[in-house]
Structure 1
Amino acid sequence: MLNTYLQGLAVGFSLIIAIGAQNAFILKQGLKRQHVFWVCFACALSDSLLILLGVAGFSAVLLHYPQIIQFAQWGGALFLFWYGFQHAVQALKSASVMQLSANSASSLTQTLLMCLALTWLNPHVYLDTVILLGSISTQFADQAYFALGAISASWLFFFALGYGARVLIPVFENPKAWQFLDGMIALVMWGIAVSLLFNA
């Protein structure tokens, strides 16, 4: 049981550590110290639900009806292009305006809606958590322990990223660092969007 749990934990970490829409959003919220707990909680809970769906067999449904994933790919690509454009605009702003933007706060509702959109409208999340983890879990007799390990990885990583981001706050006292971060986020979002369109 412990071995199965640890393998689930390892696979979960290997999939979640890659730079993606969720991680970029959590990092920025952590740097701004805005709604960090709720953003981490929403991402971890969403991942947990998706992992449970995959282990419960929903991956077979997605494989049987690939048009669900295809629809998510087009919708997710459009959303990520738009989100990337917003960050590109932020990156091109002057340093003084950028400092004001970094200090501005969105409401909890707005932040959570954006967080959930980045999670549930991103097909990569379904491919990783539902299909891939769901398929791997079938190799284990104790699938529940594998799922628990993968879920633990999500909770540990998201909260570590959200609260660990404050270590970088001294770097981001320079407005140009915010411009660089927004530029990188824009490129990551566009890169994911393009990959979705080419794989659609």
Structure 2
Amino acid sequence: MLAAGVHGFILAFGLILPLGVQNVFVFNQGSMHKQYSRVLPVILTASISDTVLITLAVLGISVMVLKVTWLSTLLLSAGILFLIYMGYLTWSSRPTDVTAETVAFSPKKQITFAASVSLLNPHAIMDTIGVIGTSSMNYAGPAKFTFAVACILTSWIWFFVLAYVGRQVGRLGELNSFHMILNKISALIMWGTAIYLLLTF
């Protein structure tokens, strides 16, 4: 079960690390609000949304492909190719000023926007169904549960930390440099995860 937990943590961390729309919104709200507690609506909404997607992926994908070998192979192959491609895009992307035209949203707007960019985001769905869901097929019983919990906890921890880091980095005025480093680390993790999935194919 320990291996499943470590796998879940590394996989979820590699997928969630890139600064997409969801992460940028959490990061921005953290940098704009004067009090950290006022960012809780967006943090909790993003975390709960990811929990729903991960749970559906782990439960649903296993039922769907349990006895369909070709479908399992297809989804795993798609997940590996997706990670390699996203790693390339992340590595080669250039930082932009994400704080431009950013405002501190009210709790209601935080919840609405965070839910929309989480649950209606094609990349988020691909991450959960195409990668986390298919990766969970390597486990059963307690190991599968541990894998899912590790992925979910990683998501929760990430959003709390991201909002906090956004506030701290925003004060320093070094957002672009921070994004560049974050993207490089993210790309390396995604490529490493692709290799791991290929070896356990």
**TM-score category by the smaller chain?**
0.5 to 0.7
Alignment equivalent of 2:47, drawn from 44, 50, 57: 44
Partner of 1:126: 125
* 8 Å Cα contact 1:22-1:115 kept in structure 2: yes
CA separation of 1:4 and 1:58: change in aligned 2, threshold 3 A: closer
Are 2:112 and 1:149 aligned?
no
Structure 1 runs not aligned, ≥5 long: 64-86, 92-97, 181-200
> Which residues in structure 2 correspond to 1:50-199 (within 5 Å)?
50-58=53-61, 91=100, 105-141=104-140, 142-172=143-173
Deviates more, 1:33-42 or 1:119-128: 33-42
Give the superposed CA RMSD: 3.0
Amino acid at match of 2:163: G
Contact map agreement 1:7 1:146 (CA 8 A) in 2: yes
Q: Check the 8 A contact 1:50/1:126 in 2, yes or no.
A: yes
Counterpart residue type for residue 53 of structure 1: L
User: Quick one: distance in 2 between partners of 1:105 and 1:36?
Assistant: 9
Counterpart-to-counterpart distance in 1, 2:62 and 2:126 = 9
Q: Deviations over 1:22-65 (max 9, x none)?
A: 1100110000127311211111111111100011024776x8xx
Cα distance in 2 between the residues matched to 1:59 and 1:128: 15
Distance 1:170 1:107, change over 3 A: closer
Aligned residues: 143
Q: In the TM superposition, what is the alpha-carbon distance from 1:105 to its structure 2 partner?
A: 3.7
TM-score by length of structure 1 reads 0.62
Distance 2:113 2:127 in 1: 20
Does structure 2 conserve the Cα–Cα contact (< 8 Å) formed by 1:59 and 1:130? no
Verify the 8 A CA contact 1:59 1:131 in the aligned structure 2: no
Q: Distance in 2 between matches of 1:160 and 1:50?
A: 20
Is the partner of 2:18 in helix, strand or coil? coil
Contiguous gaps of at least 5 residues in structure 2: 65-70, 72-95, 177-201
Change (3 A) 1:60 1:20: farther
Secondary structure in structure 2 of the residue aligned to 1:52:
helix
The Cα shift of 1:130 comes to 2.4
Contact 2:54–2:152 (CA<8 Å) still a contact in 1?
Answer: yes
Cα deviation for residue 131 of structure 1 reads 2.6
Aligned equivalents of 1:116, 1:38: Cα separation in 2:
10
